[in-house]
Structure 1
Amino acid sequence: MIYPQNFEQKIGFDQIRGLLKGQCLSSLGQERVDALAFSDRREDIGRRLEETAEFVRIIQEEDSFPDQYFFDVRPSLRRIRVEGLYLDEQEVFDLRRSLETIHGIVRFLHWEEEETGDYPYPALQALAGDVAVFPQLIGAIDRILDNYGKIKDSASAELLRIRREILSTTSGISRSLNAILRSAQSEGYVDKDVAPTMRDGRLVIPVAPGMKRKIRGIVHDESATGKTVFIEPAEVVEANNRIRELEGEERREVIRILTEFSATVRPLIPDILRSYEFLAEIDFIRAKARFAIRTHSIKPLLEDRPLIDWATAVHPLLQLSLEKHGKKVVPLDIELDEKQRILIISGPNAGGKSVCLKTVGLLQYMLQCGLLIPLHERSRTGIFGSIFIDIGDEQSIENDLSTYSSHLLNMKQTMKHCDGRSLILIDEFGSGTEPQIGGAMAEAVLKRFNDRKAFGVITTHYQNLKHFADAHEGVVNGAMLYDRHHMQALFQLQIGNPGSSFAVEIARKIGIPEEVIADASAIVGSEYINADKYLQDIVRDKRYWETKRQNIRKREKQMEETIARYEAQLKELEESRKDILRRAKEDAQHLLEESNARIENTIRTIKESQAEKEKTRTARQELDEFKESVKDIEKQKAEEKIARKMEQLLEKQRRREERKKQPKGETAQTVVKPRPVQPLQPGDPVRIKGQTSVGELLDISGKNATVAFGMIKTTVKLDRLERTDAPVTKTGLEKSSSFVSTSTQESVYEKKLQFKQDIDVRGMRGDEAIQAVTYFIDDAILLGVSRVRILHGTGTGILRTLIRDYLKTVPGVRHFQDEHVQFGGAGITVVDLE
């Protein structure tokens, strides 16, 4: 039940109907908009909402939906039910295009099912399930109509004969007229630029009135100025008469063809009309979907019980109006359930109370009419069996009703019919009469509503209704917020406390004299004024603490995000550490394998030279110790990288802690006491920063230094070394170092002389190229070469990718890039080594 009769006009739904009609493509959909009605059945409401939501997805995601031709030919089809009547050319053309649209829509909704077996639009697919399409009828129309909706010459043999004769006769007339016209022009009867024209369907020649007797024929017309007469020469009168006869025959033949076609359509009219009902429904659903997109509406969660749990609900008409001026609507959050069924809204005038009430009424009515509504996705909606509204001035001279009498009549009907599934909307409850009795009457009526377990939104200024809400279960106060400092409404609803009318503050802002305000305050009493002031303070404090709570939640969320980010960085660092260790072990293993090969070569050389067993044993011992030293060096390199990353992270954390400890408004000043730093000298005990192994600095060359770690000499950057007081690491090889050291030094020196900084791997397979590059890079690192070049060619780029992927895993590679375009470009990789 909806009460009163002008309910839609009061909440603005009549404007919604107008906007929906504007989105329709034809009168088919507009009729459905007129028939749109309120429903309290969950199945019907849910089906309508789902159909509209699916069409929203079609509009947003599909480009091939057929919506070109929505023509309403139902009146024409109903007319030709009478035997002998026929559809004209335009009606047949509209029938053909609309039937094609119906066929296209049904095929579209079933296409996904045929292709994949899925139902992307199940509600619409069900709607199109038993709709008849008429491809044979479309084919029959195509045989008699062309692409422009005109009867084809080939529609019948008789029509083809008639039109050919018309064409030949017209051509003969044109030739005769042109000959007569040329002769008249040469005689000077007619101007040189005159051409034959048409008057009353007959070809004529324009002639000056003074020359009309020079040409034998019939005068058919003259111009408005009287300066030209139109003569049909006697030579073409008979031919023009024949044209008229043929045109009559053509019309009769066209009518015969259309009558014959209409006779074939007549038995199909009931099925065609049912298909047009489907087309009307599609037009209607499409209009609802387009309106939903325009108002940012969604399909909310729907429960089969009275419920309003809305977040960021928006009045659609107000939204559209404000959008034109670049403004936004303040959204409404409201909740009505079994515990708080009736909301009493108070607050200042022009504070948004009525807009809030109308928003509830309009959105609930739209929902139960099957329209999507603009609110947040987390909102929950319910279904009411009846909606009652009492809003506005209802004075009636005809019925001799005052405003208050009209309100009482509405209250009478509402109390008579309301129940636990009713939604009651009352604006300015109890107004229109003497305040004291009006407030008492309103409180008594409100008690009846509450006893009936009805739901409602009621706006008022009466204090007794605010007290009633505080004292009775099921009724709750709400306030429209007001900014006391700027003296302006915030249009925000806050449930839980009553609102102040701010009568004194508004009067003072408008400019009412202060003595008038003082007199009014004295009349009403200090107790009322203080109570209103306390109410304002409560609302103000609640807003303050609500803002504080929101800020705290925001800070907590930021802190949680920061902690999660740091934990992710630590996890990433740990994974990076493990990856570095793994690669370091792989590189060390590779180096050990190479060392083993060198050991075997050394032993083979010794055996071939028939050396003594003692020397062989000594050489093998020295090489084993060499392997251990290589292991230490590789381990140091890996640990050094990890130490550097850990040191950076700890330094960053230390600086962050110092900033937190630093008091606000003060600037931390760090005093660094410089201490004298002695430059490194050859012979100093040194170690690589972050490492524990101690070696002896042998030589300094620019930014590079040569350091001996036991029997191993290596070249490192000078700035990576630091002086240490720890003793130089001894390896135990000093006793026999003369034999191995000398040979090793000579071998290294010889290899350094023969080493080339370029390698060519073009034409090799991938594994061959990687092996060659591996040995080449290892030799370069061992010999302290800073830059090498790998020539791999361009080709398909596979070899280049494999080599660069390998270079990324080598610890000693600092950087690599394409060679300059003048020297080979992408066909050569330049590698910088540490």
Structure 2
Amino acid sequence: NLEQKLGVDQVRLLLKEKCLSNLGVSAIDKMQFSSDYDLVIKLLGQTDEFLKIIQSEETFPTNHFIDVSQSLKKAKTEGAFLIEQELLDIGNSLKAISGCVSFLEKHKETYSQLHALVKFVDFDHSVIDNIETKIDKKGEVKDNASPGLAKIRNNLKAGYTRVKKLIDRIYREAVNSGYVPDGASLTVRDGRMVIPIAAEYKRRIKGFIHDESSTGQTVFIEPTDVLEGNNELRELENAQKREVIKILTELTDLIRLNLEPIKKGYRFLSKIDFIRAKALLAQDMEAVLPEVSKNAYVDWNSARHPLLYLSYQKVDRKVIPLSINMNEDKRLVIISGPNAGGKSVCLKTVGLIQYMLQCGLLIPVEENTKAGIYKDIFIDIGDEQSLDNDLSTYSSHLTNMKYFLSNAGGKSLILIDEFGTGTDPQFGGAIAEAILDKLAFKKCQGVITTHYSNIKLYAEDHEGVVNGAMRFDMENLEPLYELEIGKPGSSFSLEISRKIGLDKDVLEYAKSAIGEKKVDVDDLILKLEKQQQQIEQRDRELKSSEQRTRSLEQKYSRLYEELETNKKKIIAQAKNEASDLLSRTNREIEKTIRHIKENKAQKTETKKARGRLEELKGKVTPTKDRRLGKPQEVIEGPIKVGDQVKLKDQDVVGKVLDIKGKDAEVQMGALKSMIKLNRLDKISNRQSKQIKNAPKRSKSMDLAQKRAHFSTTLDLRGKRGEEALPMVDKFIDDALLFSANEVKILHGKGNGILKDMIRQHLKGAPYITSMHDEHIDHGGAGITVIELS
């Protein structure tokens, strides 16, 4: 029951769901673990190539993968013939085989491993031609399948026409005579055309009575005049049946002559269906082809339990990946840690992924993973007690250990869960240590989970055996499901007991019963775990700080370069403008002085000259709002309900109706909108009227243009929090301004930091109805969907 223990049986079921027919299903049933390196490499290569076909979106033929094994068994018998539908299925599936072969021939350089399968396909393609020539797409023998059949069917058509005309005439006469019951019509009995006649008139029509109605009031008569014609039709129908059987027999004989090559073709189709199923499952698991060696070793990076990964995908959860290394120097990994901390999942992940690899399945690991080939896998997982053999749980474990010690070797993978449990801990721990010593001596590789301290100490003191711990959150006393190699883990029994509120006296009694030495060792492990978590937290903060510093430094450098570049242009431009302005001003002043002198300082002319100078001064004076005629004044102080406000950098004004936290409800014409306070300026009533009365053409044009270019999706990927949040505020303001009901913020998945920052920032805003992840098919946790009120 190794496959059931590891979950391989569930992998088989998933593969069967991907198959196109029973051809692939039968191949999956035959799939087995192999220690033959060349075979494993070949199987992995085939799956990887088919995955590339799927990812390239090339059209691989997948129609008519039909299992015709029963029909081929039937065709094997001399004198037997296949019916039309069976022959049609064989013809279509042989065309499918031919299509697969053609595809692989066309791409033989790209998909060489799959192309190697083509050499086993060598059936006579005239079988397909003969079936297509004689059987139509509906599964019926064609009229021109043979000269004899064509002649018979022509005679049948002519005969039907003759008999139909004759019986129609007799039927009309019977109707006119009132012999036919109301609503009755011509019908067929025993393959012969008959007329329904009321029972009291049956003597009026000469002919043969074939049947009567259930009430006996209607009889069905074959008139004497059409009896001869119906007999001819029956003879033609029998001749047609004989000719069809003859044609079907000839086609079946042709298949029988090519039976072995045809069977090889179906074995090829079965393999293709199987390989395709493996590739589709690999795509679902995001599995890859690792670097595979003949040596027995594991060097996996971010391995994910296949079944857990697929299960979590459906609910948008993430599997904590496992990175593990086993080789000649680090053969046995002893995993310890709290219950429900993930020890068994780690062990089963190693077993299932290795088993899948050696069945030719791609595995869910990162690209830089390396893997080896083991001769065999030994497992001891779960309770194997047996009432039939009077075996206890511990006895069953010992029976397994006895088998391991007798049969395992240097190329064996050993997986033992809860090593030594099931009996007195003192004796169970000692026996477990002795077994571990023997396995280490035999240079076996594997993963062993345990709670026994003596097993952890053994790993510290012996070469080739290493400790591993399941990480634990010391603050919240919750498992992290992360494996850390190099140190033992604590069961955290006392801490968990304390968390759930067990009586202090009970805990103190337990500590004294355990003994100071063992408690001290456990405390030391706890302190180390806490220190490591603190170091990791500081390391994360330091890295985050370094990234922010680098980002600011790059931003500063870029701005400095732009400033230096623009400064020279601005200074040169300003000098030119100043020089031009000075020249014009001097000319105007000289002209004015000359004009005053010429007019001998007359008041009217002097006034006109001063007016021209004032006009020139107006052109020179900056910082005026030319449309309003004077600078816009901003009133200092907090914004209150009833104040007139203006959107910063925009000539949009309104009145504050309500203030909720950092947001204000503003009436802007007929529109009410919630806007961040930091995006508003407080202005006077006079200023508000001036802006409202100013020409609206440019403003409405700007607003229309802005609405036309407004997108309901904001892309913040690659942005830091300090630059992203102002962009979010402006985006939400614009969305409210343009009455958007739903918007999306694309922040990516990553570690979820930016996503959490954005949602926390917007949390509680009165204009937001809800925030949630996008559908898994359209981005999932990488996109936040915001519904606006």
TM-score w.r.t. the length of structure 1 is 0.66
Code of the residue aligned with 2:36 in structure 1: it is R
1:646-665 → structure 2 map (5 Å cutoff):
none
How much identity, in percent, do the aligned residues show?
Answer: 45
CA distance in 2, matches of 1:332, 1:233: 87
1:436-515 → structure 2 map (5 Å cutoff):
436-510=426-500, 512-515=502-505
CA distance in 1, matches of 2:560, 2:408: 64
SS at match of 1:171: helix
Code of the residue aligned with 1:439 in structure 2: it is G
Q: Would the aligned equivalents of 1:170 and 1:243 in 2 still touch at CA under 8 Å?
A: yes
CA distance in 2, matches of 1:408, 1:371: 33
Pair 1:18-2:13 in alignment: yes
Of 24, 30, 47 in structure 2, the residue corresponding to residue 29 of structure 1 is 24
Q: Would the aligned equivalents of 1:390 and 1:425 in 2 still touch at CA under 8 Å?
A: yes
2:387 paired residue number? 397
2:165 paired residue number? 175
1:643 paired residue number? 568
Pair 1:160-2:160 in alignment: no
CA distance in 2, matches of 1:202, 1:295: 63
Q: Would the aligned equivalents of 1:102 and 1:133 in 2 still touch at CA under 8 Å?
A: no
1:224 and 1:434, CA in 2 relative to 1: closer, same or farther beyond 3 A?
Answer: farther
CA distance in 1, matches of 2:44, 2:541: 38
Q: Would the aligned equivalents of 2:120 and 2:268 in 1 still touch at CA under 8 Å?
A: no
Code of the residue aligned with 1:699 in structure 2: it is R
Of 423, 427, 430 in structure 1, the residue corresponding to residue 417 of structure 2 is 427
2:751 paired residue number? none
1:700 and 1:266, CA in 2 relative to 1: closer, same or farther beyond 3 A?
Answer: same
SS at match of 2:471: strand
2:333 paired residue number? 343
1:242 and 1:454, CA in 2 relative to 1: closer, same or farther beyond 3 A?
Answer: same
Structure 1 portions without partners, runs of 5+: 1-5, 114-118, 578-640, 648-686, 707-714, 721-834
- For each residue in 1:544-602, what CA deviation from the matched residue of structure 2 results, as whole angstroms up to 9, or x when unmatched? 2123223433443554565566667778899xx6xxxxxxxxxxxxxxxxxxxxxxxxx
Q: Would the aligned equivalents of 2:81 and 2:248 in 1 still touch at CA under 8 Å?
A: yes
CA distance in 2, matches of 1:561, 1:85: 81
1:92-491 → structure 2 map (5 Å cutoff):
92-112=87-107, 119-129=109-119, 131-132=121-122, 134-205=124-195, 217-221=207-211, 230-491=220-481
CA distance in 2, matches of 1:207, 1:512: 96
Q: Would the aligned equivalents of 2:120 and 2:265 in 1 still touch at CA under 8 Å?
A: no
SS at match of 1:56: helix
Q: Would the aligned equivalents of 1:699 and 1:705 in 2 still touch at CA under 8 Å?
A: no
**How much has 1:362 moved relative to structure 2?**
0.3
CA distance in 1, matches of 2:117, 2:574: 78
CA distance in 2, matches of 1:516, 1:455: 41
2:539 paired residue number? 549
1:696 and 1:272, CA in 2 relative to 1: closer, same or farther beyond 3 A?
Answer: closer
1:39 paired residue number? 34
Code of the residue aligned with 2:172 in structure 1: it is R
1:309 and 1:550, CA in 2 relative to 1: closer, same or farther beyond 3 A?
Answer: farther
**How much has 1:300 moved relative to structure 2?**
1.5
**How much has 1:281 moved relative to structure 2?**
1.1
Q: Over alpha carbons, which structure has the higher Rg?
A: 1
CA distance in 1, matches of 2:498, 2:202: 93
SS at match of 2:184: coil
Code of the residue aligned with 1:421 in structure 2: it is K
SS at match of 2:258: helix
SS at match of 1:699: helix
Code of the residue aligned with 1:68 in structure 2: it is N
1:71 paired residue number? 66
**How much has 1:372 moved relative to structure 2?**
0.7
Code of the residue aligned with 1:397 in structure 2: it is L
SS at match of 2:585: strand
Pair 1:60-2:55 in alignment: yes
1:530-569 → structure 2 map (5 Å cutoff):
530-557=520-547, 559-560=549-550, 563=553
1:818 paired residue number? none
1:381 and 1:198, CA in 2 relative to 1: closer, same or farther beyond 3 A?
Answer: farther
SS at match of 1:128: helix
CA distance in 2, matches of 1:99, 1:705: 104
Structure 2 portions without partners, runs of 5+: 592-615, 623-789
- For each residue in 1:365-410, what CA deviation from the matched residue of structure 2 results, as whole angstroms up to 9, or x when unmatched? 0001100111111222121111110001111122222211111111
**How much has 1:52 moved relative to structure 2?**
0.7
**How much has 1:436 moved relative to structure 2?**
0.8
CA distance in 1, matches of 2:588, 2:44: 77
1:691 and 1:32, CA in 2 relative to 1: closer, same or farther beyond 3 A?
Answer: same
1:358 and 1:208, CA in 2 relative to 1: closer, same or farther beyond 3 A?
Answer: farther
Q: Would the aligned equivalents of 2:19 and 2:273 in 1 still touch at CA under 8 Å?
A: yes
CA distance in 2, matches of 1:702, 1:526: 102
Q: Would the aligned equivalents of 2:44 and 2:362 in 1 still touch at CA under 8 Å?
A: yes
1:784 paired residue number? none
Code of the residue aligned with 2:240 in structure 1: it is E
CA distance in 2, matches of 1:514, 1:227: 99
- For each residue in 1:629-675, what CA deviation from the matched residue of structure 2 results, as whole angstroms up to 9, or x when unmatched? xxxxxxxxxxxx66247x9xxxxxxxxxxxxxxxxxxxxxxxxxxxx
**How much has 1:180 moved relative to structure 2?**
3.7
1:499 and 1:264, CA in 2 relative to 1: closer, same or farther beyond 3 A?
Answer: same
SS at match of 1:203: strand
CA distance in 1, matches of 2:110, 2:226: 68
Q: Would the aligned equivalents of 1:497 and 1:539 in 2 still touch at CA under 8 Å?
A: no
- For each residue in 1:123-177, what CA deviation from the matched residue of structure 2 results, as whole angstroms up to 9, or x when unmatched? 1122224532543332222221222222111111111111122222222333334
- For each residue in 1:686-706, what CA deviation from the matched residue of structure 2 results, as whole angstroms up to 9, or x when unmatched? x97579999994432999999
CA distance in 1, matches of 2:512, 2:589: 95
**How much has 1:40 moved relative to structure 2?**
1.8
Count of matched residue positions in the alignment of Structure 1 and Structure 2: 597
1:514-529 → structure 2 map (5 Å cutoff):
514-529=504-519
Code of the residue aligned with 1:522 in structure 2: it is S
1:448 and 1:171, CA in 2 relative to 1: closer, same or farther beyond 3 A?
Answer: same
2:584 paired residue number? 699
Q: Would the aligned equivalents of 2:378 and 2:415 in 1 still touch at CA under 8 Å?
A: yes
CA distance in 1, matches of 2:161, 2:390: 80
1:650-729 → structure 2 map (5 Å cutoff):
697-700=582-585
**How much has 1:215 moved relative to structure 2?**
5.5
CA distance in 2, matches of 1:540, 1:229: 99
- For each residue in 1:778-804, what CA deviation from the matched residue of structure 2 results, as whole angstroms up to 9, or x when unmatched? xxxxxxxxxxxxxxxxxxxxxxxxxxx
Q: Would the aligned equivalents of 2:51 and 2:280 in 1 still touch at CA under 8 Å?
A: yes
1:209 and 1:411, CA in 2 relative to 1: closer, same or farther beyond 3 A?
Answer: farther
Q: Would the aligned equivalents of 2:19 and 2:277 in 1 still touch at CA under 8 Å?
A: yes
Code of the residue aligned with 2:315 in structure 1: it is H
- For each residue in 1:422-477, what CA deviation from the matched residue of structure 2 results, as whole angstroms up to 9, or x when unmatched? 11000010011111111111111111111122111111111111111122222121
1:129 and 1:694, CA in 2 relative to 1: closer, same or farther beyond 3 A?
Answer: same
Q: Would the aligned equivalents of 2:124 and 2:258 in 1 still touch at CA under 8 Å?
A: no
SS at match of 1:700: helix
1:264 and 1:718, CA in 2 relative to 1: closer, same or farther beyond 3 A?
Answer: same
